[in-house]
Amino acid sequence: MDYQSRSGVCPQKKARDRLIRLAASHPQWALGFEDETWWSRVAQPALHAWTPAQQPLRFLEHSVPSTDPDPKAVACYGLLVQQRTPQGVSQDHVWLRFVSGRPVSAVTIEFLTWLCALLTTAGKTALLLVWDNASWHRSRAVRHWLREHNQRVKHDRHGLRIVPCLLPIKSPWLNPLEAHWVHGKRAVVEPSRLLPAGELMERVNAHFGCPHQEPLVIPQKVS
């Protein structure tokens, strides 16, 4: 458990809790929990459902035909922004961007750049960013980009500063976005047919109330 004495768990959890307290006292700061997931067209999530007596709900085992141009699963970046009203009520909002490919450092930077534009437009001056220890979060390229970005914001005195906070390893319960992924996969499941990738992404966006955005792509290197 997170309260037990283990190397790294308590200090990192305390750092997360400190950011939560800071965000509560600074209205112009955004508290964001970031994570990535795969939305599978084939795998069926675990769920419970009411059915008429003697008529159990049966899931069909899906398979992707060799002629199907869509991938078996699509990757997605997400940010859960938590805000509290003056009455103390928590308001959660999820921002999504699908990926043409898989999560890597370059795509992570593109996602963070997009978030900066959104949050700056919303009047925020800082993003307290809580995320896990994925290699594309703590890579040299991402750390270098974060350092240069924050230095530029400090120099220009304009823009969104990003304060990253790594969660302890193997502690998904500390990121509330994980629960949103679980509920979302149960909400968009289709027991009777194989969903095209486009329709799957439309269902996911509709569930989270997100407008359609073009998938993020890995930037091409200029030779």
Report DSSP letters for 92-149, one per residue.
EEEEEEEEES---HHHHHHHHHHHHHHHHHTT--EEEEEE---TTTSSHHHHHHHHHH
Topology (CATH) of 9-38+72-185: Nucleotidyltransferase; domain 5 (3.30.420)
Name 68's Cβ contacts closer than 8 Å, sequence gap at least 6.
194
pLDDT at 16: 80
What is d(CA 136, CA 120) in angstroms, rounded to the nearest whole number? 24
Q: Is 150 helix (H, G, I), strand (E, B) or coil?
A: helix
pLDDT at 151 over 80: yes
Q: Is 178 helix (H, G, I), strand (E, B) or coil?
A: helix
Best CA proximity match to 166, nearest among 24, 31, 16, 2: 16
- DSSP conformation class of 26: -
Contact 13, 168 (CB under 8 A): yes
Percent of the chain with pLDDT over 90: 61
- Name the least confident of 44-53, 110-119, 143-152, 200-209: 44-53
Percent of the chain with pLDDT over 70: 81
Name 51's Cβ contacts closer than 8 Å, sequence gap at least 6.
57
What is d(CA 67, CA 73) in angstroms, rounded to the nearest whole number? 16
Chain position carrying tokens 């930077």: 109
Confidence of residue 29 (pLDDT cuts 50, 70, 90): very high
CB atoms within 10 A of CB 28: 11
Token pair of 3, please? 């309260």
DSSP β-ladder status, 73-84 and 29-40: antiparallel
What is d(CA 121, CA 150) in angstroms, rounded to the nearest whole number? 17
Q: What are phi and psi of 55, to 5 degrees?
A: -130, 75
pLDDT at 82: 87
Segment 39-88, tens digit of pLDDT: 998 877 765 555 666 666 665 556 676 787 889 999 999 999 987 655 55
pLDDT at 136: 97
The DSSP element (H or E) to which 32 belongs, if any, is strand 29-40
Domain assignments of the chain as residue spans, ordered by start = 9-38+72-185
pLDDT at 140 over 60: yes
Give the residue, 86 or 93, on which the prediction is more confident: 93
